[in-house]
Amino acid sequence: MDSKQKHTQFIKQEAKRLGFDYCGISKADFLEDEAPRLEKWLKENKQGQMAYMANYFDKRLDPRLLVEGSKSVISLLYNYYPQQTQVANAPKISKYAYGQDYHEIIKIKLQEFLFSLKENIGDINGRAFVDSAPVLDKAWAKKSGLGWIGKNSNLITKENGSFFFIAELIIDLELEYDGPIKDYCGTCSKCIDACPTQAIVAPYVVDGSKCISYLTIELKEAIPSEFKTNMDNWVFGCDVCQDVCPWNRFSKINQEPLFTNTTGLLNFSEAEWHEITEESFQLVFKHSAVKRTKYKGLKRNLEFIKPQRKIKD
């Protein structure tokens, strides 16, 4: 076994030890196929007010500009599919936000991963990323064979669906590389048909400015009135296009204890949500991804979906 094989094998074993469900490796190179797609998407203003999507355009497409001397992109998936559910009729939050903020949890694992690589392989240079830099996560995960990008623009695995966080290590070590797998969406259009705001404007194309996740999290202004009857009771993110995806019937409950909600949030009634105070918000969402929308943003979202009828306890 040569050093490339040995190092690749070690990396995949370490990924498993640290709790990552999937690990695939790609050569750090220019993302030729994604360049025209991203450019077109930006020109059509499908990023809405997410101005950061237009920043560092070159770095998004070439990790060698992001991490000096990089040779490999290690893509990792971490399952967040929950056993818990929210009570009926309550304002809804995306499943990924049920427990502790994934950034905090996965970042620690990635730091340990990098430390382990340096301890066992030698003096390598690299950086860890989890939704925190100009990295096209899904494109790299696809390139390394972890899944395909579905018509809802999410990465889908054939074995366990799409309820995964994506993270990367970009390092200056040459490894054995995986290749992409085929697209298994076929003729299915369930995600397109089910999207409450018709944000999936064509197969594989999401107009970010219409997506409920964008409207409830990224948008800082008032939510446009045209969406008043289309929010489907969501106040933080949206899971509709994943919930209806046939591949998610294979989703398995995550094994991460920190993703289990311990704040009582999932038992909030409709009335409790609408009556939440800033003090309660700070307490309940202290370690949650929901804090990203801030109290003001959450109240805006709650007001926007507030039913006209009187809410009863």
| Domain assignment of residue 177, yes or no | no
- Please check the confidence at residue 309 and state whether its pLDDT lies above 60: no
Mean pLDDT across the chain: 91
Residues contacting residue 80 through CB under 8 Å, at least 6 positions apart:
95, 96, 99, 102, 163, 164, 165, 254, 256, 259
Report percent pLDDT > 90 for the chain: 81
User: Stretch 146-172: mean pLDDT, rounded?
Assistant: 97
Task: Please tell me whether the overall predicted TM-score, pTM, comes out greater than 0.85 for this model.
Answer: yes
| Domain assignment of residue 210, yes or no | no
| Domain assignment of residue 147, yes or no | yes
- Please check the confidence at residue 36 and state whether its pLDDT lies above 90: no
Which domain range does residue 140 map to? 3-85+94-171
User: Stretch 59-75: mean pLDDT, rounded?
Assistant: 90
| Domain assignment of residue 254, yes or no | no
| Domain assignment of residue 282, yes or no | no
| Domain assignment of residue 75, yes or no | yes
- Please check the confidence at residue 55 and state whether its pLDDT lies above 70: no
**Which domain CATH number covers 24?**
3.40.109
Residue 202, helix vs strand vs coil? strand
- Please check the confidence at residue 235 and state whether its pLDDT lies above 90: yes
Residues marked active site are found at 131
- Please check the confidence at residue 306 and state whether its pLDDT lies above 90: no
Encoding tokens for residue 166?
């994506």
Domain count within the chain: 1
Encoding tokens for residue 229?
């009857």
CA angle 240/248/242 to nearest 5° reads 20
| Domain assignment of residue 306, yes or no | no
| Domain assignment of residue 236, yes or no | no
DSSP codes joined into one string, 71-88: -EEEEEEEE---S--PPT
Residue 37 pLDDT: 77
